[in-house]
Structure formats: C-alpha cells, structure tokens
C-alpha cells in the first residue's frame, strides 16, 4: 500500500528533552527525555494515528513537529525540507501548511474575539493567503464547511456548545489551507454523540481537501476508525507500528496487546475470544525510565535480557514493526494465550 511517492512528513530519529530544574536557583539538574528516537513517515492524503498513555511523549512529538519545541537531535522533514533549519519566509510558508487542532475547545479559543476574528486572525499574520476584501465571505465558507451556521460569525465562543467550539477550532486550522493537520486529542473532550459527528467531519474534510492527518489520541477505537497507519508510543519510544489492519487484528508487542484488551467494548459477549490483559502498575516516570526495554516493568514476558538490552524496532512482516525481545509472529498473535496476571 505504501506508494513510492515521497512522504509529506518524515520524522527521523527525533529526540526532544526538557530540563529538570532545582527549586533553588533553577539550576538544571537533569533532563527528561520526552521523545526518544522516534522515526516515521507520513504520505500525503493519509492519516497516521499516534497512541499511548499520558507520559508517552505523543504531545511533545506533535509540538516538536510543529516547531513549538526544539528537538535535541533528529530531523523533521516536511515536503522535502528540514523544518528546524528553515528561517524567514520559508519557515513561515512551511508553518502555514502545518496546522493544529487542540484537545480543549474551551481553552483553545480566545473568549474576547468573535468567531470571525478568531478565524481571520491567521490571515492577518500570513498575508497573501486571503485578501482582506474576501475575509467575510471566506469566514462564512469555512463555517459552512465545518457544519456551523455562517450567520453565527459574529458570535463569541461561549455562545457555542463544546462540539460547535471544536468545529470553530477546525475552521481556524483550515483557514490557512494547510496540507498537514495535527489533531492532538481533538475529539477526546467531546460527548460520544458529538465526537462521532466531528470524526465524520474530519473524514469528509480529508476527502474534499486532500488533507494529511497526524492524529494523536488515547482512544484506540477512534484511532482505528480514522487512521491508515498507527504508531504506538511508550515512554518516548515507538514500540510498534504498522497498518491499522496489522495492528488491530494481530498486535505483536505486549504493550499494544494490553492497550487493545483494555478498551471497553459495549458488547463483550459478542467477542468471547478477546484477550484479557490487565497490566499491573502505572507508566514509570519519564525522568528515570527503566533500563533496557522501557516496558519491562509492566510486561508479563520480561526476562533478564529485557533489563540488559534495549530491543530495536524490527520489521516482522510487511512493514509491521515492533520493538520486543520476545516477539510473537504476527500471523500467530491472533490466537495468543489468554494472560491475566
């Protein structure tokens, strides 16, 4: 399925860390490695889902790609150009083409601006996208496109429901005609009936505008619904990646298996062969990740070797890659034993 065309976004061996500062004098006493050697490629017009628990580094990954954090090392190549190296006009052009939709539709919109002002602010910052004379008409077009009443352009965010506000956030992201949209938990805060509406909207927009999505979420059923490929992160590292079909029918990494089995399904009796893995403990602190395999402290397969050496991300079958010393063959993972520690 992966075409020979160049990817729109290519992330190579990316590292991002934050300083840990002492309470006194704010001296740097160490670093938290939030993103630790992440690589992936995302082709134009496709959707890559990034999943992981809080502390897995998925938000830092997004912020680094969009330029809100500076990477320690590694490359972020967008449309053939290395983003951290760009400056001036080139950087502005690249930034315009990458937009973000945030999780909290209440916090992400300025309460003192009308919806029209919120959306057209971007055109003031990036002149040349939409001429000023067209702003009003363009705002109405965008509102209609995201399923809002175009006549509500002069309303303030508090006059909208949560789902409607998220649509405003989407309209704002689309205002600059981006090619890549990063959705950071974009539907997580919404009620399930509204979440489904927004998911459908995102699917439609992708089809109509040829958008490419980097879709970050903790909800695996949502990620399965919208993605072509999936990356599973744990403590800053990619532990498994592959197509949606590969990952959801035959996950090979124990962490992915555990994540999948933890998703509540409404009719459990209809899926009697579902694995039941209840992981013990919490995700360790990224300030002091375990040696070797970072997942080993919660893994039921862990052996001596896992503490000693870090497993590499290895191709198991047709681009389905996992980082585990004791991988199951993808074809056999489907009938993996029921584990219940």
Residues forming contacts to another protein in the complex (CB under 8 A) are 53-54, 161-164, 191-197, 199-200, 203, 218-222, 224-225, 244, 248, 258-269, 271, 278-283
Strand 180-184, strand 212-216: pairing: parallel
8 A C-beta contact, residue 47 and residue 244: no
CB of 255 to another protein, least distance (A): 9
8 A C-beta contact, residue 50 and residue 220: no
Angle at alpha carbon of residue 190, lines to 240 and 241, rounded to 5°: 10
CB of 269 to another protein, least distance (A): 7
The residue among 138 and 185 lying less far from another protein, judged by its C-beta, is: 185
CB of 224 to another protein, least distance (A): 6
- Rounded distance between C-alpha atoms, residue 309 and residue 297, angstroms: 14
CB of 152 to another protein, least distance (A): 14
- Cα–chain center distance at 169: 17
The residue among 298 and 320 lying less far from another protein, judged by its C-beta, is: 298
CB of 157 to another protein, least distance (A): 15
The residue among 141 and 191 lying less far from another protein, judged by its C-beta, is: 191
CB of 339 to another protein, least distance (A): 13
The residue among 177 and 340 lying less far from another protein, judged by its C-beta, is: 340
The residue among 44 and 244 lying less far from another protein, judged by its C-beta, is: 244
The residue among 287 and 314 lying less far from another protein, judged by its C-beta, is: 287
| Beta carbons within 8 Å of 115's beta carbon, 6+ residues apart | 139, 143, 148, 152, 153, 154, 155, 156, 157, 160, 168, 171
CB of 75 to another protein, least distance (A): 30
| DSSP annotation string for 180-222 | EEEEESTTTTS-HHHHHHHHHHHHHHHHHH--EEEEE-S-HHH
Question: What is the phi/psi pair of residue 145, to 5°?
Answer: -65, -35
- Rounded distance between C-alpha atoms, residue 188 and residue 104, angstroms: 8
| Beta carbons within 8 Å of 136's beta carbon, 6+ residues apart | 116, 153
The residue among 56 and 64 lying less far from another protein, judged by its C-beta, is: 56
């Amino acid at each position: 399925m992966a075409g020979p065309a160049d990817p729109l976004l290519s992330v190579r061996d990316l590292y991002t860390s934050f300083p840990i500062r002492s309470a006194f004098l704010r001296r740097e006493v160490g670093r938290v490695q939030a993103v630790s050697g992440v690589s992936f490629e995302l082709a134009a017009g496709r959707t890559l889902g990034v999943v992981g628990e809080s502390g897995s580094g998925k938000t830092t990954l997004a912020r680094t790609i969009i330029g809100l954090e500076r990477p320690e090392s590694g490359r972020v190549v967008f449309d053939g150009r290395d983003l951290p190296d760009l400056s001036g006009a080139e950087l502005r052009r690249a930034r315009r083409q990458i937009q973000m939709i945030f999780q909290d539709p209440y916090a992400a919109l300025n309460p003192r601006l009308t919806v029209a002002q919120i959306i057209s602010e971007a055109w003031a910052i990036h002149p040349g996208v939409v001429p000023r004379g067209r702003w009003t008409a363009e705002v109405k077009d965008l509102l209609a496109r995201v399923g809002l009443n175009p006549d509500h352009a002069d309303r303030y965010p508090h006059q909208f429901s949560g789902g409607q506000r998220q649509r405003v956030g989407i309209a704002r992201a689309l205002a600059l005609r981006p090619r890549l949209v990063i959705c950071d938990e974009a539907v997580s805060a919404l009620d399930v009936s509204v979440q489904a509406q927004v998911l459908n909207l995102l699917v439609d927009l992708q089809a109509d505008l040829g958008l490419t999505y980097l879709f970050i979420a903790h909800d695996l059923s949502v990620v399965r619904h919208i993605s072509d490929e999936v990356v599973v992160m744990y403590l800053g590292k990619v532990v498994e990646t592959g197509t949606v079909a590969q990952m959801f029918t035959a996950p090979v990494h124990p962490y992915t298996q555990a994540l999948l089995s933890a998703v509540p399904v409404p009719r459990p009796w209809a899926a009697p062969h579902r694995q039941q893995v209840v992981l013990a403990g919490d995700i360790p602190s990224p300030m002091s990740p375990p040696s070797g395999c970072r997942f080993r402290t919660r893994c039921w397969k862990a052996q001596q070797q896992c503490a000693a050496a870090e497993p590499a991300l290895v191709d198991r079958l047709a681009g389905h890659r996992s980082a585990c010393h004791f991988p199951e063959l993808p074809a056999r993972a489907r009938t993996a034993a029921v584990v219940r520690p």
